[in-house]
């Protein structure tokens, strides 16, 4: 047994203290009844040092606690015995080849393939081999077999991807994979060992299932490289960030801008370091526009010389707002909230002038007071909803005198919230799972002075209730469409919702929900996944940058998580709309700095191998020692509990004595 901090063993000297304490006697234990203490006088307590120790069990516990405490601080360990492979069993050899984007440098992947051949040849005859490739995931390239020719063929078929390798995630996968392989498992890692691929925690690099790791570093010293770091657009302007690293062979670069595959501008950049180029006067078409930035220069990496970007030019969607007063407060509040998002434009429609037949042109509409509709208008709106439209309705003061709400059919109760100026309710329950409410906060600060009390009908989904359990926000399916109804008006006499921060977010989320269009991200990194949700039995289709359909016909009827592996533009078609997303290689793959030699040596040692020498490592198992402090802490806890109980038991008679003497 060894100690990581042996000086703490000096703490064991403290065991002298309980020995001393257990020799002290401060109180006589001889207690006798006496007729009267009237004539007696308390003698001053005397501390005696006894020759004999008292309470030996308690003393033993206390000494043990102190000794173990000193041991815990000294961090004892046991060296783990070396695990030799079982005689007659060769185990498994994994040959892992890094196929991440950085391996696409000139000559690097060829060296990797050569190293893989060498690794396969070095495996003893009869041992099992499996070839793996690793980018953002680890994949089996060949079956587990001792047939070396088969593995060589598998290696020759490998190519470089546009994805990023993370060593931490790689080792986690290897660890799981090695569990099912015949031990001992030895791992050949053939990679350029990018420093940017290292995980945040060193512990993530260590696998308990792999007996030895043999690294093959095939990277070369980084040469000059210039890369595009980012592209940001402001509709007709675009900023391009370019980074040129140090290194020999710096050359000027030509930056070319292509909008929808047409070259629109170009510049020459000769400076190295970080630079930002601004291009303006872009005239994107309506809808999604492909903006491709190309860097034409002679540098180390090719994949980071172009960047794919999508410029959105979507006109705001008109939203009919059906109202009795187009200059009223509800119209102002709703217009201000909706038009805070450039995607929406409010079109007020006076009820008397509105032609409800035109509603079919819109996806959804708003009514600021549902009870202001007459029977014919209500029927026209109901038909609009039945046929798939959505309606966002507020129930204002006109509903106070109605018996039943139009379209929804809810019966109006005579009593809502009290009409007194100082009486108000707040929100009591909130269904935060609903998309309209999931991203909004601050509902509990809203004061509701008046609302229309209704009882929910069968099929209603009550999304929000007041403190008195009266529904405040209800969603109801009507035919193919849906009705979202707030049982309060947007008059500041009824509530202070419009002046609360939650209002704008709520209206925008309701607009997205009712329009059926959610904001989608248009920029991805290679390896990300695109989610296609199922709407009305279809999820949609995706075309990859080469124009190939990603999903089969059956796949278009299921919700999908599509991995975006290739840099370029993916065309996405959903039941609601079609759009384009741009995919770029992770910029970290352009960082060609390699893992420090000391770090790599530490990694190899942690895995049970020797430090790499000339790119090749021989094996000798030297596992980490077994630390004992965990067990000692547990034992210490038990001893402390025992000491407390025993000490308490021993002190009880003394306490009785003391309490009776006072």
Partner 1 sequence: MAALQASQSSARELLRPEVLASLKNLDLVARSVVEGFLIGLHRSPTFGFSQEFAEYRAYSEGDDPRFIDWNVFARTERTYIKRFLGDTNSHLMILLDASASMGFGGPPVSKLRYGQFLAASLSFLASRQHDAVGCMVFDEQVRDYRAPSTRAGRLQSVLHCLDSAEARTGTKFDKPFEKFREQITRRGLVAVISDFYCDTTNLLAGVRPLAWQGQDVVLFQVLDDQELTPDFGGNVLLEDLESGRAVEVAPQFMRETYPERMRAHIDSLATAAAGIGADHVLVSTSDSLDQALRSYLMFRQRRQ
Question: For binding to partner 1 (CB under 8 A), which residues are involved?
Answer: 27-28, 30-43, 45-46, 657, 660-661
Neighbouring C-alpha atoms within 13 Å toward the C-beta of 365: 30
Are the beta carbons of 190 and 218 closer than 8 angstroms?
yes
Identity of the residue, 45 or 613, whose beta carbon is nearer to partner 1 in the bound complex = 45
Q: Residue 656: which residues within 8 A CB-CB, separation 6 or more? A: none
Q: 122 vs 652, which CB is nearer to partner 1?
A: 652
Q: What are phi and psi of 205, to 5 degrees?
A: -85, -15
Smallest gap from Cβ 643 to partner 1, in A, equals 27
CA atoms lying within 13 Å on the CB side of residue 193: 24
CB closer to partner 1 out of 613 and 659: 659
Q: How far is the CB of 662 from partner 1 (least distance, A)?
A: 9
Distance CA 220, CA 89 (A): 37
Q: What is the DSSP secondary-structure string of 325-364?
A: -TTSHHHHHHHHHHTTSTTEEEEEEETTT--GGGGGGSSE
Instruction: For residue 550, give Cα distances in angstroms to 245, 508, 556, 565.
Output: 37, 32, 10, 11
What is the C-alpha to C-alpha distance for residues 371 and 369, in angstroms, rounded to an integer? 6
**Nearest residue (CB) to partner 1, 36 versus 561:** 36
Least distance in Å: CB of 51 to partner 1? 15
- Closer to partner 1 by Cβ: residue 41 or 353: 41
Cis amide prior to 184 (ω within 30 degrees): yes
How far is Cα 97 from Cα 215, in angstroms, rounded to an integer? Answer: 10
CB of 19 to partner 1, least distance (A): 23
Measured distance CA(558)–CA(541) in Å, rounded: 10
Minimum distance of partner 1 from residue 50's CB (angstroms): 12
Query: Smallest gap, in angstroms, from Cβ of residue 52 to partner 1?
Result: 15
CB of 656 to partner 1, least distance (A): 10
Determine how many CB atoms are found less than 10 A away from the CB of residue 615.
Answer: 14
CB atoms within 10 A of CB 180: 10
- Which C-beta is closer to partner 1: that of 30 or that of 200? 30
Give 52-117 as a DSSP string: S---HHHHHHHHHHHHHHHHHHH-EEEPPPP-PPPTT---EEEEEEE-SGGGGSTTHHHHHHHHHH
Residue 29 vs 149, nearer CB to partner 1: 29
Shortest distance (Å) from residue 627 CB to partner 1: 51
CB 526 within 8 A of CB 163: yes
- Quote the Cα angle for 300-303-309, to 5°: 135
Q: Which is nearer to partner 1, 25 or 173 (CB)?
A: 25
Quick count: other Cβ atoms within 10 Å of Cβ 578? 13
By beta-carbon proximity to partner 1, the closer residue of 35 and 149 is 35
**Residues 6+ away with beta carbon under 8 Å from 28:** none
Toward partner 1, which CB reaches closer, 468 or 657?
657
Tell the smallest beta-carbon distance from residue 629 to partner 1 (Å): 46
Contact 430, 408 (CB under 8 A): no
The residue among 43 and 548 lying less far from partner 1, judged by its C-beta, is: 43
Q: How far is the CB of 660 from partner 1 (least distance, A)?
A: 5
CB of 25 to partner 1, least distance (A): 10
Question: At closest approach, how far in Å is the CB of 655 from partner 1?
Answer: 13
Instruction: Say how far apart CA 311 and CA 140 lie, in whole Å.
Output: 39
**Which residue's CB is nearer to partner 1, number 37 or number 149?**
37
């Amino acid at each position: 047994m060894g100690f990581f901090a042996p000086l703490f063993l000096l703490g064991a000297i403290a065991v002298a203290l309980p020995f001393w304490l257990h020799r002290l006697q401060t109180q006589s234990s001889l207690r006798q009844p006496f007729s009267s203490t009237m004539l007696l006088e308390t003698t001053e307590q005397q501390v005696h040092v006894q020759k004999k120790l008292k309470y030996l069990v308690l003393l033993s516990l206390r000494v043990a606690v102190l000794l173990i405490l000193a041991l815990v601080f000294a961090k004892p360990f046991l060296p783990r015995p070396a695990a030799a492979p079982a005689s007659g069993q060769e185990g498994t050899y994994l040959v892992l080849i890094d196929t991440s984007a950085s391996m696409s440098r000139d000559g690097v992947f060829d060296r990797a393939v050569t190293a893989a051949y060498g690794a396969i040849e070095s495996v003893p005859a009869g041992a099992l081999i499996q070839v793996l490739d690793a980018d953002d995931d680890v994949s089996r390239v060949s079956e587990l077999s001792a047939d070396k020719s088969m593995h060589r063929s598998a290696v020759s078929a490998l190519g470089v991807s546009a994805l990023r390798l993370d060593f931490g995630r790689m080792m986690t996968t290897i660890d799981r994979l090695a569990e099912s392989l015949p031990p001992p498992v030895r791992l050949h890692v053939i990679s350029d060992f990018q420093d940017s691929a290292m995980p945040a925690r060193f512990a993530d690099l260590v696998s308990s299932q792999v007996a030895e790791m043999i690294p093959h570093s095939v990277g070369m010293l980084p040469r000059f490289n210039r890369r595009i770091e980012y592209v940001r657009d402001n509709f007709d302007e675009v900023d391009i960030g370019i980074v040129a690293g140090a290194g020999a062979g710096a050359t000027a670069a030509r930056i070319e801008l292509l909008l929808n595959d047409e070259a629109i501008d170009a510049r020459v950049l000769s400076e190295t370091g970080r630079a930002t180029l601004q291009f303006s006067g872009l005239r994107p078409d309506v809808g999604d526009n492909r903006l491709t930035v190309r860097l034409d220069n002679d540098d180390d990496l090719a994949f980071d010389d172009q960047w794919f970007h999508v410029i959105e030019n979507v006109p705001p969607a008109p939203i009919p707002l059906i109202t009795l007063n187009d200059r009223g407060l509800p119209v102002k509040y709703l217009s201000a909230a909706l038009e805070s998002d450039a995607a929406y434009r409010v079109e007020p429609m006076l009820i008397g002038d509105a032609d409800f037949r035109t509603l079919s042109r819109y996806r959804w509409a708003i009514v600021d007071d549902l009870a202001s509709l007459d029977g014919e208008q209500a029927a026209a709106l109901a038909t609009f909803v039945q046929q798939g439209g959505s309606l966002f309705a507020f129930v204002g003061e006109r509903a106070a005198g109605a018996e039943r709400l139009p379209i929804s059919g809810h019966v109006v109760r005579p009593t809502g919230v009290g009409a007194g100026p100082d009486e108000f309710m707040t929100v009591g329950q909130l269904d935060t799972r609903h998309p309209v409410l999931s991203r909004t906060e601050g509902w509990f600060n809203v004061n509701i002075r008046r609302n229309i009390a209704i009882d929910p009908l069968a099929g209603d989904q009550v999304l929000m209730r007041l403190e008195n359990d009266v529904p405040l926000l209800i969603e109801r399916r009507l035919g193919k469409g849906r009705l979202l109804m707030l049982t309060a008006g947007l008059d500041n006499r009824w509530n202070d919702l419009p002046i609360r921060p939650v209002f704008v977010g709520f209206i925008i989320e309701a607009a997205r929900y009712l329009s059926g269009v959610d904001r989608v991200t248009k920029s991805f990194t290679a390896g990300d996944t695109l989610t296609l949700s199922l709407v009305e039995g279809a999820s949609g289709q995706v075309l990859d940058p080469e124009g190939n359909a990603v999903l089969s016909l059956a796949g278009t009827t299921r919700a999908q998580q599509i991995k975006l592996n290739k840099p370029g533009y993916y065309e996405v078609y959903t039941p609601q709309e079609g759009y384009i997303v741009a995919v770029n290689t992770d910029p970290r793959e352009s960082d060609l700095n390699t893992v420090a030699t000391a770090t790599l040596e530490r990694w190899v040692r942690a895995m049970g191998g020797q430090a790499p020498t000339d790119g090749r490592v021989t094996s000798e198992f030297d596992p980490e020692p077994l630390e004992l402090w965990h067990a000692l802490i547990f034992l210490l806890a038990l001893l402390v509990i025992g000491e407390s109980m025993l000490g308490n038991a021993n002190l009880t008679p003394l306490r009785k004595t003391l309490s009776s003497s006072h």
